[in-house]
Amino acid sequence: MTASTRRLFGTDGIRGTANRAPMDAATALRLGQAAGRIFNRGTHRHRVVIGKDTRLSGYMLEPALTAGFIGTGMDVVLVGPLPTPAIAMLTRSLRADLGVMISASHNLFEDNGIKLFGPDGLKLSDAQEMQIEALMEGDLAAALVPPARLGRASRMEDAPGRYIEAAKQSFPRGLTLEKLRIVVDCAHGAAYKVAPTVLWELGAEVVPVGVSPDGFNINDGVGSTAPAKLAEVVRERRADLGIALDGDADRLVMVDEAGNIVDGDQILALIAGSWQAQERLRGGHVVATVMSNMGLERYLRERGVGLLRTAVGDRYVGERMREVGCNLGGEQSGHMIMTDFGTTGDGLIAALQVLAVLVEERRPASQVCRRFQPLPQKLVNVRFSGSSPLKDAAVQREIAAQEERLGERGRVLIRASGTEPVIRVMAEAEDERLVEETVASLAETIRSRAKVPA
């Protein structure tokens, strides 16, 4: 099996419509059995930590996964709704063999997903995921243990408190959020309790949004993918800053006191500049993806910091960071990985790094959070059915022509989505009109060569 033939795992675990394969109880059971067999190594009592967000379907997937792991002799620690970075942290803290997060991140409630973390708190590699998938396609009878060796399940009541304290420890000693009014939008998701608590205990006046999950409303008009609600509340309440997390709280978007959006590139620039001034930035580089704005690259270069780009996906950002010894990386979409504090994207801890700068500089967020002028950038999604149109000769000629047209003035990025049948067409340049024309021409060519679904 190769990465290109994988049926289950995508760029961030397994994801799909709830109660439909592969996001059904039967698949979750087999996933638990296959992963349990692989991570059931050595003679110690094996343990897996399972967390989730607030989707209704979590009640279906959690017990199915639990049954699969117990059947392979692993003890299961259930922690309930907690952010993805909390599961990564607890996996290491509890010396567990595996961590599982049940979430479809920023998707609406109809979808769900399963992310796996190794004992080091890192997302599994492509090779490990392929090994699990290969086992799932075969006979799993050998993974099942005799009755006397079955695992047990228990619930960990103090798990939220552990993460709350870890998040607070990331905020610089001697600083306080007193006199700051902060709106925090938790997307009716996994951070709906812990995020407001952390901000309040650090001294802020907290205005909570999206903290009433009902199993159906996760990411629905709220959260990092719908920041208009946050901006509205920030202006209404005359807040100093707004924080928007997604359903599993591993990504962050912010708004300043005027309601202007601060994306992941600006957040990355702010943290990088702050850490460099404190001589905390390691590796001489920051890692981002191919989607990050060229303005970020210029901002960092002017300060003697390089920008390394990876494929889209915070897992690839994390892998590159480890290769080169960097401690800061992220995505334009808001994933921020700070290895001083954790192993995966953490929206809340990233927000605390921004708030620390806000407190230290004693200036409005609109001044603190605008670190560079982004170049005009446009992204268009072209949906298709059947095989990808990117291999078509006419499409390749058009891409080459547009790249030559932009030259050193900008760039073109064409990529297939890892989660849906969509070609993402992006262009970036100093000239906004040139960007518009480039994207329009590329998208038109791709549509003409693709089988567009009805």
CA distance 133 to 156: 29
Q: Crossing angle for the helix pair 159-169 and 194-201, nearest 10 degrees? A: 40
Place of tokens 């567009």: 452
CA distance 152 to 72: 11
Strand partners, 368: none
b/e burial code for range 102-138 (CB count within 10 A of at least 16 → b): bbbbbbebbbbbbbbbbbebbbbeeebbbbbbebbee
Strand partners, 98: 48
What SS3 state is found at 385? Answer: strand
CA distance 350 to 362: 19
Choosing from 4, 57, 103, 105, the catalytic residue is: 105
Side chain identity at residue 89, one-letter code = M
DSSP-assigned letters across all residues of 387-426:
S-GGG-HHHHHHHHHHHHHHGGGEEEEEEE-SSSSEEEEE
Specify whether 105 is catalytic.
yes
Side chain identity at residue 283, one-letter code = G
Contact 249, 186 (CB under 8 A): yes
Contact 280, 287 (CB under 8 A): no
Contact 387, 393 (CB under 8 A): no
3-state SS of 172-209 is: CCCCCCCCCEEEEECCCCCCCCHHHHHHHHCCCEEEEE
CA distance 102 to 27: 13
Indicate the helix (H) or strand (E) that contains 265: helix 264-277
Active site residues: 105
